Amino acid sequence: MPRRKFLSDADLDRITEATRRAELRTSAEIVTVIATRAGAYTGHVLLAAAVVLFLFSVAYLTFIKPIGSFLKQFLWAFDTNHALWTLVIVQAAVFLLTYAALSTWPGLKRLIISKKDQIAKVHSRAGSEFFGHHVAETAGESGVLIYIALFERRVELLVDSGIAAVVPRETWKDVVEDIIRGVKKRTLVDVLCGQIERIGEVLSKNFPRKERDINELPDRPVLE
């Protein structure tokens, strides 16, 4: 689902403010990345289009005689050679239309990609974003990345080693599940803002805000 259908500038301001408020309670740094999708899945789309093309071709060749007889009613000179040339043209159309449909409609595209592949892609992309946005470079090893992939409807919450050492991984399970529900129910902004402040509250116990705390990473969410 395109992120702009979810997020306006006012929404981004709300998420930014929620992050700022959360970081008033903790020295941890919270970075939110919202991606239209974690992967393009071009290979999946091409394979699906090829399968549809194959099935169509088999059906066409199986019924080539009745198809030819039907078309002869309108094209008196139509014969088997014409039927084969027609197949080539229609094959190209079927492939292109299938590819376009799968590329255009997220719900349809999601059907051809296994959950395993989606999870793997989101996990891999989240890891790249964790380092790409310098979440692993905070002074107190207290960076948090919330990675949201809208197409996959998946969320990864990654923390730096300082947090991982004192906060059990299970702590974040409910946070992740709530944000996923927000994506699916189109209430992402409300849920995300609440969960960001919840993260700040959890981290304030082990990572309280310092007197001269420096905001090391941007509060505004990153859109990709």
Domains of the chain: 3-39+114-223 (3.10.310.50), 42-111 (no CATH)
Q: pLDDT-based confidence at 223, cuts 50/70/90? A: very high
Helices 9-23, 188-204: inter-axial angle, 10-degree rounding:
10
Q: pLDDT-based confidence at 207, cuts 50/70/90? A: very high
97-148 pLDDT, tens digit per residue, is 999 999 999 999 999 999 999 999 999 999 999 999 999 999 999 999 999 9
Q: Which single residue is written with the structure tokens 């944000």?
A: 179
Instruction: Please tell me the distance from the alpha carbon of residue 205 to that of residue 207, in angstroms, as a whole number.
Output: 6
Instruction: Please tell me the distance from the alpha carbon of residue 75 to that of residue 110, in angstroms, as a whole number.
Output: 41
Instruction: Please tell me the distance from the alpha carbon of residue 164 to that of residue 72, in angstroms, as a whole number.
Output: 73
Instruction: Please tell me the distance from the alpha carbon of residue 137 to that of residue 25, in angstroms, as a whole number.
Output: 20
pLDDT at res. 213? 87
DSSP 38: S
Residue 4 has pLDDT above 60, yes or no: no
Helices 64-72, 80-104: inter-axial angle, 10-degree rounding:
100
pLDDT at res. 6? 66
Helix (H, G, I), strand (E, B) or coil at 144: strand
Which segments within the chain are labelled E, that is strand?
29-35, 143-149, 154-159, 222-223
What is the spatial order of strands in the sheet that 154-159 belongs to?
A: 154-159, 143-149, 29-35, 222-223
Residue 217 has pLDDT above 80, yes or no: yes
Q: Which of 4-18, 59-73, 138-152, 205-219 has the lowest mean pLDDT?
A: 59-73
Q: CB neighbours of 197 closer than 8 A, spacing ≥ 6?
A: 18, 21, 22
43-80 pLDDT, tens digit per residue, is 999 999 999 999 998 987 887 677 666 666 665 555 65
Q: What predicted TM-score, i.e. pTM, was given to this entire model?
A: 0.85
Residue 205 has pLDDT above 90, yes or no: yes
Check if the beta carbon of residue 115 is closer than 8 Å to that of residue 149: no
DSSP 208: B
Q: Which amino acid appears at position 6 of this protein?
A: F
